[in-house]
């Protein structure tokens, strides 16, 4: 169980609200974050200064938008059956906001600033039919007065049908995003770059000024979102004074989050071992992908030296076994942490499997698990999840009815 003292210690000094003692009797003062205290600072553009340890990277972004609720808290995660002496803590990037929750918002703070700087009037991106990134991009674009065009990948049987209003799709469509559907086969054959280039060409011909965002927001500019997250973790550790992490664990779906964490950890004072659990492609793909992302920042580092990538895709991207979904349900019931089924759910499932199969690898280590959000994806799994729930019943009112009759008889 989390202790009352462990959570506040790992909040940054800029945590949203902290209760402070007041010099005035019977009064309480509150300290709030700059973003919360200053009217107009949310959804505002601001100059960006990188951490001192990242100043040699290039290019360095000049501006970012304030789109998320940062810092996100870190607290102990009371997981069952851990190896002896192992502690797991959790970084709650699922609490970065509602529609913009999760890891995508950190990248979009930089990407949207670049889109605006380039004079764009709309953005284009691509993802799966229940893409968290596409939903977050649609919201971020609307915040900064840009239209949003989404290329969404679905099955061959559904590509000619209305995609519906479930989960992330509902939010994206509420926001007025323009949606183009392609089948999985078309996506595999043509590729995301060619698809976004095609839509970009069509919009340019119509006189629009589009800005293309890579799938997952994962490019060298988007990397800065999780380089900045490492600075945030550093500050939280410095405030706590007595917590140091040996490992960072995160789901790996497009590579940008794990690349930023691994690069930041290597350059900063953290020096933690970063583990990426792949939820789609094989580890070899992601080692190459991360290498390209960090080469784009002229880091001079080798991806194999700064991150360990392991396979967690199971049946495939956004596909789940009954055991994986039951794990998500059981962890929510046991710890109060709701994991999404596509990213963090699979990463946590595989992490605990590895801890069970290789306990000596993890014994005595302090592990920080980064929850990357995506809870809206659960709505797409309702039919598969329904068999795990049975704890309901109609309330028995017979006693109440009998009591009412008895009172009537007395009267």
pLDDT tens sequence for the chain (411 residues): 333 333 344 544 344 333 333 333 333 333 344 555 578 888 999 999 999 999 999 999 999 999 999 999 999 999 999 999 999 999 999 999 878 878 999 999 999 999 999 999 999 999 999 999 999 999 999 999 999 999 999 999 999 999 999 999 999 999 999 999 999 999 999 999 999 999 999 999 999 999 999 999 999 999 999 999 999 999 999 998 889 999 999 999 999 999 999 999 999 999 999 999 999 999 999 999 999 999 999 999 999 999 999 999 999 999 999 999 999 999 999 999 999 999 999 999 999 999 999 999 999 999 999 999 999 999 999 999 998 987 788 888 888 777 777 777 766
Q: Is residue 118 part of a domain?
A: yes
Residues 342 and 375: their CA atoms lie apart, in Å, by 9
Same domain as 235, residue 117: no
Kindly list the distances between the CA atom of residue 122 and the CA atoms of 119, 138, 177, 192, 324, in Å, as whole numbers in the listed order. Answer: 9, 10, 10, 18, 38
Q: Are strands 122-128 and 147-154 parallel, antiparallel or unpaired?
A: parallel
Any idea what the CATH number is for the domain that residue 269 is in? 3.40.50.1100
Question: 276 forms bridges with which residues in the sheet?
Answer: 250, 309
pLDDT (0 to 100) of residue 6: 38
pLDDT at 279: 97
CB 368 within 8 A of CB 90: yes
Contact yes or no for 189/159 (Cβ under 8 A) = no
240 shares its domain with 366? yes
- Domain range for 157 is 104-212
Measured in whole angstroms, the distance separating CA 65 from the mean position of its chain's CA atoms is 18
Same domain, 145 and 228: no
Alpha helices in 256-381 (DSSP H): 256-267, 283-295, 303-306, 322-335, 344-357, 359-362
* Same domain membership, residue 286 and residue 257: yes
Helix (H, G, I), strand (E, B) or coil at 77: coil
* Two tokens, residue 218: 């994962």
Give domain status of residue 354, yes or no: yes
- Same domain (yes/no): 89, 228: yes
Are residue 207 and residue 288 in the same domain, yes or no? Answer: no
Catalytic machinery residues: 131
Do 243 and 366 belong to one domain? yes
Do residues 108 and 173 both lie within one domain? yes
Question: Is this structure's pTM higher than 0.85?
Answer: yes
Pick from 212, 245, 262: which residue ends a domain?
Answer: 212
Separation of alpha carbons 164 and 127, rounded Å = 16
Do 182 and 315 lie in one domain? The reply is no
Neighbours of 51 (CB within 10 A): 17
Same domain for 96 and 110, yes or no, is no
Asked if residue 373 and residue 252 are part of one domain, the reply reads yes
Give the tens place of pLDDT for each residue, 144-187.
999 999 999 999 999 999 999 999 999 999 999 999 999 999 99
pLDDT of residue 410: 65
Give the dihedral sign, CA 136/142/146/150.
positive
Residue 20 lies in a domain: no
Question: Does 93 map to a domain?
Answer: yes
**370 occurs within a structural domain:** yes
Alpha carbons 104 and 138: distance in angstroms, whole number: 11
Q: Where are the beta strands (DSSP E) in 27-86?
A: 29-32, 45-47, 63-65, 74-76
Which of 101, 61, 44 lies closest to 260, judged by CA? 61
């Amino acid at each position: 169980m989390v202790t009352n003292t462990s959570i506040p210690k790992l909040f940054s000094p800029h945590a949203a609200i902290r209760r402070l003692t007041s010099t005035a009797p019977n009064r309480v003062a509150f300290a709030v974050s700059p973003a919360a205290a200053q009217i107009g600072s949310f959804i505002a553009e601001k100059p960006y200064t990188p951490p001192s340890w990242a100043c040699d990277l290039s290019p360095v972004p000049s501006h970012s938008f304030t789109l998320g609720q940062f810092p996100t808290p870190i607290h102990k995660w009371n997981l069952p059956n851990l190896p002896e002496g192992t502690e797991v803590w959790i970084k709650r990037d699922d609490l970065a906001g509602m529609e913009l929750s999760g890891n995508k918002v950190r990248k979009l703070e930089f990407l949207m600033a670049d889109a605006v700087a380039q004079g764009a009037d709309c953005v284009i991106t691509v993802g799966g039919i229940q893409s968290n990134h596409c939903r977050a991009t649609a919201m971020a674009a609307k915040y900064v007065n840009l239209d949003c065009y989404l290329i969404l990948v679905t099955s061959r049987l559904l590509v000619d049908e209305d995609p519906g209003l479930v989960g992330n799709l509902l939010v994206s469509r509420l926001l007025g995003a323009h949606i183009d559907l392609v089948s999985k086969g078309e996506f595999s054959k043509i590729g995301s770059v060619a698809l976004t280039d095609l839509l970009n060409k069509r919009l340019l011909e119509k006189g629009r000024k589009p800005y293309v965002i890579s799938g997952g927001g994962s490019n060298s500019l988007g990397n800065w979102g999780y380089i900045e997250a490492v600075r945030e973790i550093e500050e939280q550790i410095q405030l706590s004074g007595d917590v140091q992490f040996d490992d960072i664990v995160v789901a790996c779906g497009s590579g940008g989050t794990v690349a930023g964490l691994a690069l930041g950890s290597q350059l900063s004072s953290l020096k933690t071992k970063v583990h990426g659990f792949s939820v789609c492609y094989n580890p070899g793909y992601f080692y190459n992908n991360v290498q390209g992302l960090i080469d784009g920042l002229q880091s001079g580092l080798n991806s194999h030296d700064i991150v360990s990538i392991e396979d967690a895709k199971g049946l495939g991207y956004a596909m789940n076994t009954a055991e994986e979904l039951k794990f998500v349900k059981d962890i929510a019931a046991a710890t109060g942490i709701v994991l999404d089924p596509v990213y963090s759910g699979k990463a946590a499932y595989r992490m605990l499997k590895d801890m069970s199969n290789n306990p000596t690898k993890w014994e005595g280590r302090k592990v920080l698990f980064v929850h990357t959000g995506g809870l809206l994806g659960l709505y797409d799994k309702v039919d598969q999840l329904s068999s795990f729930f049975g704890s309901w019943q109609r309330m028995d009112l017979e006693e109440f009815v009998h009591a009412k009759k008895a009172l009537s008889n007395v009267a």
